[in-house]
Structure 1
Amino acid sequence: MEAEDPLGPLDPDFAANFTRDQRRPPCQLYLVSPLGVGGDFPDRLRRALDAGPVAAFQFRVKDIDQHAAARLAEPLQAICAAHEVAFIVNDSVSLAKRLGADGVHLGQEDGDPRAAREVLGPDVQIGVTCHDSRHLAMGAGEAGVDYVAFGAFFPTTTKAVEHRPDPSILSWWSALFELPSVAIGGITPGNARPLVDAGADFLAMSGSLWGGDEAAAVRAFAEVLGGR
């Protein structure tokens, strides 16, 4: 588990006085795949993307070799391309390179974003998980990433949670930096609004989407975002 953020705690009055900058682009949806993307999942992804505006889709699979991952990814990548949705690969720079993906999302243990940039080139989006750390986020920004991700904001069964940031970190980030932020972790249509108001540029969701009717979930999220 990482040490406490060396920048220390945020001033609680900061978030209380924060007003979302309406000059920033509207908050958008960032879908994260379940671990199982075989079977009828391509049809489910197509239904989700048909249901409302989505900015990005992250391909996240574990414990399979790159050849198998590529076979699973290719039809999903084609669906995203047809919907003009960015296709982001989780963790693997080499798989992102192999697929010609639009981007890669790196955890803190997945390598240096500068090295990823050298491999993938200037036009590929690179995002980094920064948990609840302003220090990590600032370091990622200095390394030239395209977005930073904070979370988990709410309980989630998608992955083990060690970090629970307050939404005020989104307010702090958006007030000081133009670089987009992604909020992740247990986000549902019912709890998303405070994250949007706090300054999130993207809302990432997985379990709340694929655990039920994915098209209905996208429509419900779109309604929340439409009320900004």
Structure 2
Amino acid sequence: MARPEMPLRGLYAITPDTPDGTRLLADVEAALRGGCRILQYRDKLSDKAEQVARARALRRLTAAFDATLLINDDLALACLIGADGVHLGGEDGCLAAARAILGPERILGASCYADLANAGPALAGGADYIAFGAVYPSPTKPQAPRATVDLLREAKSGFAAPLCAIGGITLDNAPPLMAAGVDLLAVITDLFSAPDIAARAAQYQHLFERA
């Protein structure tokens, strides 16, 4: 259901929680300059007004780079600012209802956590891609159950939809995920904490070019 001109493959940058909106935009711009073309706005700290302001700024920035912008867990915000889609967790609303609101052109992602049984219902509900994690210990969600490389391989062989891996991913531990057939590497810390964000984004994109 995703637009064909926006392939769901490559580095999937997820914004870190930060009180500094100016720094956030600068860091995202660096990631986009490095070749990242898929961004998820995730914000668990800001109030609603600040989230709207940041989301609108990110919409303008991603549009300038012809990049895809998805909103984490907030369908209303995605619709309000004209995002390319939304990513929903298991407790963030009905996928089928979100698909009906988004229409066929915008992107809907679904968290399947560490349970392959979640994938079929997610796709039946209209998800364009399925995300599994945490694949490695994650500083963002340290208590998250682990989604193994074997689970990713099974998901890749069992479902045609793009496969996203998330949780503790770094350049060093990404190769086994690529070998398992992952289409999207969702990264927060290893990207936005890098001394050169643009260079780090380019390194991730090179993984997909070599695959």
Contact kept in structure 1, 2:99 and 2:125, CA below 8 Å: no
- Tell me what 2:203 maps to: 220
State the Cα distance separating 1:216 from its structure 2 match. Answer: 2.1
Could you tell me how far apart the structure 2 residues matched to 1:68 and 1:43 are?
A: 16
- Tell me what 1:70 maps to: 52
1:140 is aligned to 2:122: yes
State the Cα distance separating 1:190 from its structure 2 match. Answer: 0.6
Q: Pairwise mapping of residues 199-218 of structure 1 onto structure 2 (< 5 A)? A: 199-212=181-194, 213-218=196-201
- Tell me what 2:86 maps to: 104
- Tell me what 2:4 maps to: none
Q: 1:65 to 1:40 in 2, by over 3 A?
A: closer
- Tell me what 2:34 maps to: 51
SS in 1 for 2:156: helix
Q: Pairwise mapping of residues 158-197 of structure 1 onto structure 2 (< 5 A)? A: 158-197=140-179
State the Cα distance separating 1:26 from its structure 2 match. Answer: 9.2
Letter aligned with residue 225 of structure 1: F
TM-score (norm 1): 0.84
Contact kept in structure 2, 1:152 and 1:163, CA below 8 Å: yes
- Tell me what 1:34 maps to: 16
Q: 1:115 to 1:26 in 2, by over 3 A?
A: closer
Unaligned runs of 5+ in 2: 1-6
Could you tell me how far apart the structure 1 residues matched to 2:90 and 2:205 are?
A: 30
Please identify the structure whose Cα radius of gyration is greater: 1
Could you tell me how far apart the structure 2 residues matched to 1:163 and 1:97 are?
A: 31
Could you tell me how far apart the structure 2 residues matched to 1:119 and 1:68 are?
A: 24
SS in 1 for 2:39: strand
- Tell me what 1:91 maps to: 73
Structure 1 stretch displaced more, 119-128 or 192-201: 119-128
Letter aligned with residue 85 of structure 2: G
Contact kept in structure 2, 1:107 and 1:128, CA below 8 Å: yes
Q: Percent identity?
A: 36
Contact kept in structure 1, 2:130 and 2:163, CA below 8 Å: yes
Could you tell me how far apart the structure 1 residues matched to 2:79 and 2:140 are?
A: 26
Q: Deviations over 1:30-70 (max 9, x none)?
A: 00000126022212211111112x23100000143332211
SS in 2 for 1:199: coil
Could you tell me how far apart the structure 1 residues matched to 2:144 and 2:41 are?
A: 22
Task: Write out the 4+ residue segments of structure 1 that deviate beyond 6 Å after TM superposition.
Answer: none
Letter aligned with residue 173 of structure 1: A
Letter aligned with residue 165 of structure 1: A
Unaligned runs of 5+ in 1: 1-24
